[in-house]
Amino acid sequence: MKKIGIIVGSLRKASNSQKIADNALNYYKGKADAKVIEIGHLPLYNADYELDLPESYVHYKKEIESFDSFLFIVPEYNRTMTPAMKNAIDVASRPFTSNKWNGKTVLLVGHSIGKLGAYGAVNDVRKVLGFLGANVLMYPEVYLGPTKDLFNEDGTFVPASAGFMDDVFSALLK
Ligand code: FNR
């Protein structure tokens, strides 16, 4: 089965990104080996660490290496990606000779509480991962919003979003 790593760009408990990730995990059950990769514990990147990588970095980089494909759930802070997501990308990109993003397939899903769907953040993630050699899918382009219309009370997708998102998630199985 294809291995799919899910990167969730928000660290807060009631995160909409996490709800989307939970729906993705549910979708991939029996179809792929999908898992959310923890990023909240990674110290803020500091080039001095390259002399002696923290254990958390070593473990995280090995984990990134072990996945074929990635689903990035992208919230937007001030028209770009969150610091947690940028840090997770940076940590796995260094030292540049062991950049782990090169050749990986990535699907981006943006979402926002308004209608713009984190367009600015998604396209910044696309630029950064493209620079690092990832194959960032151009289609489907996904900008979900407003998030209040996406979910049932229990965090599962309402039928309209479920149908659309099944198609989106299936892009990583092809
Ligand atoms: C935001 N938010 C936000 N939303 C947006 O659509 N565009 C933006 O530029 C910003 N900027 C922004 C900055 C900061 C510092 C915060 C804390 C929030 C709103 C934010 O995207 C929204 O709360 C999402 O729901 C965050 O994702 P999670 O935590 O729900 O996964």
Give the whole-angstrom CA distance, residue 45 versus residue 64: 16
Nearest atom in ligand 1 to the alpha carbon of residue 114 is: 6
Distance 9 CA to ligand 1 centre (A): 10
Distance 72 CA to ligand 1 centre (A): 16
Residue nearest to atom 17 of ligand 1 (CA): 77
Rg (CA), the chain: 15
Whole-number pLDDT of residue 151: 98
What is the residue whose two structure tokens read 């969150």? 82
Whole-number pLDDT of residue 121: 98
* 10 band by pLDDT with thresholds 50, 70 and 90: very high
Dump pLDDT digits (tens) for 102-144.
Answer: 999 999 999 999 999 999 999 999 999 999 999 999 999 999 9
Q: Evaluate whether 82 touches 112 at the Cβ level (below 8 Å).
A: no
- Residue 22 in contact with ligand 1 by CB distance below 6 A: no
Q: Can you say how many angstroms the Cα of residue 3 is from the centroid of all Cα atoms in its chain?
A: 14
Q: DSSP for 81-108, please give it.
A: --HHHHHHHHHHH-SGGG-TTTT-EEEE
Exposure of 109 by Cβ count < 10 A (0-12 exposed, 13-18 middle, 19+ buried)? buried
Distance 49 CA to ligand 1 centre (A): 30
Dump pLDDT digits (tens) for 134-170.
Answer: 999 999 999 999 999 999 999 999 999 999 999 999 9
> In this prediction, what percent of the chain has a pLDDT beyond 90?
99
The residue among 8 and 96 whose pLDDT is bigger is 8
**What mean pLDDT, rounded, does the chain reach?**
98
